[in-house]
Amino acid sequence: GMENPTLTFLTPTLMAGDRSLVAVVAHELAHSWTGNLVTNATWEDFWLNEGWTVYAERRILERLYGIEFTHLQAVSGRNDLRAAFKNFGEDSPYTKLKTDLTGIDPDEVFSSVPYEKGFLFIVAVERAVGREAFDGFIRSYIRNFKFSSITTSQFVEYLTKQLPDAAKKVDLNRWIHEPGLPDSAPEFASGMIDDVRNVRVRWDQGERDLRAAVAHWNTHQIVLFLEELPTRLPEADCAALDNLWVAQTKNCEILLPFYCIAAGSSYRKVFPAIRDFLSTIGRGKYLKPLYRTLHENPETRALACELFEEYKDRYHSVGRLAVQRILEK
């Protein structure tokens, strides 16, 4: 989505038919405060927009669907972050919250880091001072900086003044200026996550008749299960996943991790569906991981190049360039 003031743009892939992707709607609307009312001064401070907005989005989800659901999303976000760390390299400067983009096109290093690491940092501060004190801080922060653009150091200065306890308990320098995640990064517990991990244990023990165990799962539990599986599976396992969830969904959030598994496993049965997906979906969030997986598997590398050549003119220039970089590696 794109949070144009009073005219949010949303990608059609959010209309999954099951109302499962409202988080993005909440996200774009939350940008009215964090992003549009208080804005990052430079792209090096992008986390101020996105970390805060993911935090706001999840506070809205917590009110709508409860803490269990919200923590499930946070864990999924953490998986995205782990993937970004892997792509950049654990010690890469692009895993810092405050980046140095001298001579670098911000689009080139766009990732989940400002979103999910920013979110974790804000939760760390919230947990250090308690929610009540933190909510007071949010209000004063927005009021103080409304209609202005601020840098990370302005934020840190304000935080240190308003919440001196947080500045003592949370290693601000470690969070903001160093790569990777501190060991003390917030963890999230939820029965919905336990449920997914328990079924994973049964899956690892060889059980495949899991229909009853997952019948009540929501979209995000299915996504978490799929994204935590290895990307190379035997054909029979791909078929089991296909039968369990994929054959009857149009939800791109579920299709993407499954297609990544199918690509990594050379599961040819769904190659026509992958072609269909890459010919109709232009969202970088989906294009990049799927092309990356196709490219990493020597058996599908040629297919990745073929599909890209055929459909690249349908993609937005930013997404096209990102995929081109992946295929050149």
CB of 78 to Zn ion, least distance (A): 17
- Strand-pairing partners, residue 148, are 38
Closer of 57 and 195 to Zn ion (Cβ):
57
| Least distance from Zn ion to the Cβ atom of residue 28, Å | 7
Contacts of 292 (CB under 8 A, 6+ apart): 87, 326
The residue (of 35 and 257) whose beta carbon lies closer to Zn ion is: 35
Please identify, among the stretches 48-56, 273-281, 293-301, 318-326, the one whose residues bind Zn ion according to the rule CB under 5 A.
48-56
Closer by beta carbon to Zn ion, 50 or else 116: 50
Question: What contacts 9, CB < 8 A, 6 or more positions away?
Answer: 1, 2
For residue 55, give both structure tokens: 């935090």
Q: How far is the CB of 322 from Zn ion (least distance, A)?
A: 17
- Residue 301's alpha-carbon distances to 11, 280, 296, in angstroms, are 28, 20, 7
Tell me whether residue 53 or residue 300 sits nearer to Zn ion (CB atom).
53
Active-site option among 3, 28, 57, 227: 28
Active-site residue 28, yes or no? yes
| Pick 119 or 217: Cβ nearer Zn ion | 119
The residue (of 145 and 271) whose beta carbon lies closer to Zn ion is 145
Question: Near Zn ion by CB under 5 A, which window of 42-50, 142-150, 183-191, 252-260?
Answer: 42-50
The string over 130-161, giving b where at least 16 C-beta atoms fall within 10 Å of a residue's C-beta and e elsewhere, is eeeebeebbeebeeebeeeebebebbbebbee
Count the residues of the shown chain that bind Zn ion, applying the rule CB under 5 A. Answer: 2
Give the active site residue among 55, 94, 115, 259. 115
Binding range to Zn ion, per CB under 5 A, among 18-26, 50-58, 186-194, 263-271: 50-58
Measured CA to CA in angstroms, residue 209 lies from 191, 199, 247 at distances of 22, 11, 16
Using the contact rule CB under 5 A, the part of the chain among 49-57, 130-138, 181-189, 241-249 near Zn ion is 49-57
- C-alpha to C-alpha distance for 117 and 194, rounded to whole angstroms: 23
Q: How far is the CB of 45 from Zn ion (least distance, A)?
A: 14
Give the integer Cα–Cα distance in Å for 70 and 149: 29
Angle at alpha carbon of residue 10, lines to 6 and 15, rounded to 5°: 130
Task: Dig out the tokens for 225 from the structure.
Answer: 């299960």
Q: What whole-number distance in Å separates Cα of residue 167 and Cα of residue 264?
A: 44
**Catalytic-residue membership of 115:** yes
Site track 51-80 with Zn ion (rule: CB under 5 A), x = hit: --x---------------------------
Smallest separation (angstroms) from Zn ion to the CB of 53: 5
Q: How far apart are CA 113 and CA 126, in angstroms?
A: 19
Interacting span for Zn ion (CB under 5 A) from 43-51, 57-65, 91-99, 243-251? 43-51
- Give the DSSP per-residue string, 69-96: HHHHHHHHHHHHHHHHHHHH-TT-GGGS
Residue 37 in tokens: 């009312």
Q: How far is the CB of 158 from Zn ion (least distance, A)?
A: 21
Residues recognised as catalytic: 28, 115
Residues in contact with Zn ion by the rule CB under 5 A: 50, 53
